[in-house]
């Protein structure tokens, strides 16, 4: 196919957010949509994502984005086409003792939104998943339908559906510059040629700060390095076993295809910040020292994991904003330039609704599926970072 010289809307980045936006824009018949990816689809954070799909948040906005996204994972074949690898395992989220009252308040908040969640005791944990140590769990949150999906399959499935609806998706095409004339976006320069367009959406994940610089703006996005490991699941565990966020041990875990258990850490110290120089040269294997630490914590929760052979691990990067929530929306002063970046480690499960909300914002001037205005990029300059009423400490 010839290289497109014009577009109505250009999306920079072929991760799960970019392709979801391409899918929703083409569904709304927003004109000629061109998505540009410098490597291949899901080459960034998405391809490394742990793929947890759950709705527990300590703020209503992200919970709603996750809630409105869940049906896409559950009914992917019907709504998008193909298989996204979604497995409903049930999901438990524990809380450290000092956060138990916040957990109660957040579960009550989530229930008012319609999230299928409930508070459970240590005894309930034992009934649901007897292989988890539960004597140190006074209270936890449970979501029966949650689980995980395959980030690659989700991304390629959305991309194929977007293509069927008319989107042009170019891989191996790096955006190298964004033209802004008189405060209006005019198009992009790429490694394969120039494209004129009045609207450009920056969905470049952890590279979002660099792409924003091409339009002459500076945004505050840290690049976070996160490592995960996998062991062979011991035969004493059911298949699939539960998906868990274990705050006491600072780990999360879920089953992985091939009879494996995937687990990662949630200690902020373990998720180091990379400089922009390191972004394209980081090691994508897990450091053995960290893997052993995580494994020890995994065994604190599931004793039988002591017998589990270590199989593999990897590392990836994601972009984190100053308040830990995405930057979604237009940039005042640069007509036609939008951000959908900074998902701070949560973006996969929210991608279906984020794509829809951003498409509606661009087309109608407001997001209808979920009001994303609290995540407008200008909130920091306005002194209004976003936070729920009962943030976990
Ligand atoms: C190890 C790990 C585990 C995670 N676990 C979870 C989880 O369990 N659940 C969850 O919800 N989220 C999780 N996340 C976060 C989630 O994966 C991300 O929020 C999400 O994938 C972000 O998608 P994205 O499309 O915004 O970014 P990306 O997937 O990074 O996509 C951005 C794309 O832009 C491309 N690009 C960059 N610069 C340019 C340019 N100049 N021109 C063209 N293309 C460009 C990149 O190559 C990349 O493919 C995890 C992240 C990591 C790293």
Taking only the tens place, the pLDDT of each residue in 239-265 is: 999 999 999 999 999 999 999 999 999
For a mutational test of ligand 1's pocket, the pick from 11, 20, 50, i.e. the residue with the most ligand atoms closer than 8 A to its C-beta, is: 50
**pLDDT for 268 beyond 80:** no
Residue 181: phi and psi, rounded to 5, are -125, 125
Single out the residue of 83, 17, 14, 15 nearest to residue 356, CA to CA.
Answer: 17
Mind listing the pLDDT tens digit for each residue in 320-339? 999 999 999 999 999 999 99
Query: Candidates 150, 207, 270: which one to mutate for ligand 1, based on the most atoms within 8 Å of Cβ?
Result: 207
Q: What is the pLDDT of residues 158-200, one digit of tens each?
A: 999 999 999 999 999 999 999 999 999 999 999 999 999 999 9
Neighbour order of strands in the sheet with 193-196: 175-181, 184-190, 193-196
Mean pLDDT of the chain: 97
What integer pLDDT is reported at residue 60 of this predicted model? 98
As a whole number of angstroms, the distance between CA 14 and CA 17 comes to 7
Atom of ligand 1 nearest to the CA of 348: 11
Question: Distance between CA 352 and CA 350 in Å, rounded?
Answer: 6
CA of 329 to the centre of ligand 1 (A): 18
Distance 97 CA to ligand 1 centre (A): 33
User: pTM here?
Assistant: 0.98
pLDDT of residue 271: 87
pLDDT at 267: 83
Q: Name the strands in the sheet holding 87-88, side by side, starting at the edge strand that comes first in the sequence.
A: 52-53, 147-148, 87-88
CA dihedral 95, 328, 384, 247 (to 10 degrees): 10
Mutate to test the pocket of ligand 1, among 348, 349, 352, 358 (most ligand atoms within 8 A of CB): 348
Query: Which ligand 1 atom lies nearest to the CA of residue 206?
Result: 30
| The pLDDT value given to residue 45 | 98
Please state, in angstroms and rounded to a whole number, the distance separating the CA atoms of residues 380 and 185: 23
What is the strand order of the sheet 337-341 is part of?
A: 168-170, 33-36, 9-12, 199-202, 337-341, 327-330
What proportion of the chain, given as a percentage, has pLDDT over 90?
A: 97
Give the nearest ligand 1 atom to 43 CA. 49
Q: Is pLDDT of 270 > 90?
A: no
Which CATH number, 3.40.50.720, 3.50.50.60, 3.40.50.360, 3.10.150.10, labels domain 9-47+152-218+323-379? 3.50.50.60
Whether pLDDT at 1 is above 80 = no
**Using one digit for the tens of pLDDT, what is the confidence trace for 106-165?**
999 999 999 999 999 999 999 999 999 999 999 999 999 999 999 999 999 999 999 999
Q: What pLDDT sits at residue 127?
A: 97
Provide the pLDDT confidence category of residue 266 given band limits of 50, 70 and 90. Answer: confident
Residue 333 CB-density burial (10 A; 0-12 exposed, 13-18 middle, 19+ buried) = exposed
Looking from the CA of 168 toward its CB, the CA atoms found within 13 Å total: 18
Domains of the chain, by residue range, sit at 9-47+152-218+323-379, 222-240+259-316
Which tens digits make up the pLDDT trace of 30-69?
Answer: 999 999 999 999 999 999 999 999 999 999 999 999 999 9
User: Nearest C-alpha to atom 3 of ligand 1 is from which residue?
Assistant: 49
Q: So what's the pLDDT on residue 176?
A: 98
pLDDT value for 238: 97
Q: Which residues line ligand 1 (CB under 6 A)?
A: 12-18, 36-39, 43-46, 48-52, 174-175, 203-207, 211, 226, 228, 316-318, 343, 345-349
């Amino acid at each position: 196919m010839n290289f497109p010289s014009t577009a109505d809307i250009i999306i920079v980045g072929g991760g799960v957010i970019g392709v979801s936006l391409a899918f929703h824009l083409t569904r709304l018949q927003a004109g000629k949509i061109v998505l540009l990816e410098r490597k291949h689809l899901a080459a960034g954070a998405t391809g490394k994502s742990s793929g947890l799909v759950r709705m527990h948040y300590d703020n209503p906005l992200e919970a709603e984005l996750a809630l409105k996204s869940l049906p896409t994972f559950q009914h992917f074949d019907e709504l998008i086409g193909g298989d996204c690898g979604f497995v409903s395992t049930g999901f438990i989220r524990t809380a450290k003792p000092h956060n138990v009252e916040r957990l109660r308040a957040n579960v009550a908040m989530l229930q008012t939104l319609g999230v299928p969640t409930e508070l459970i005791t240590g005894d309930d944990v034992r009934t649901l998943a007897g292989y988890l140590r539960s004597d140190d769990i006074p209270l936890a949150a449970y979501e029966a339908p949650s689980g995980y999906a395959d980030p690659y399959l989700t991304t390629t499935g959305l991309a194929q559906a977007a293509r069927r609806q008319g989107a042009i998706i170019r891989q191996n095409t790096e955006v190298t510059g964004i033209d802004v004339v008189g405060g209006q976006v005019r198009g992009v320069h790429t490694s394969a040629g120039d494209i004129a367009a009045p609207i450009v959406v920056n969905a470049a994940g952890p590279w979002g700060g660099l792409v924003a610089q091409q339009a002459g703006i500076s945004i505050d996005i840290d690049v976070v390095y996160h490592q995960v490991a996998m062991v062979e699941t011991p035969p004493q565990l059911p298949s699939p076993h539960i998906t868990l966020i274990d705050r006491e041990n600072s780990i999360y875990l879920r089953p992985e295809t091939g009879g494996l258990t995937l687990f990662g850490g949630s200690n902020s110290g373990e998720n180091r910040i990379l400089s922009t120089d390191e972004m394209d040269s980081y090691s994508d294997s897990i450091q053995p020292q960290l893997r052993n630490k995580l494994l020890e914590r995994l065994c604190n929760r599931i004793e039988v994991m002591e017998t589990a052979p270590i199989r593999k691990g990897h590392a990836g990067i994601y972009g984190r904003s100053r308040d830990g929530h995405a930057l979604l929306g237009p940039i005042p002063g640069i007509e036609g330039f939008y951000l959908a970046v900074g998902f701070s480690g949560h973006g996969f499960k929210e991608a279906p609704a984020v794509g829809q909300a951003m498409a509606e914002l661009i087309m109608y001037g407001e997001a209808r599926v979920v009001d994303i205005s609290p995540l407008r990029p200008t909130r920091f300059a306005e002194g209004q970072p976003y936070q729920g009423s009962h943030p976990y400490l």
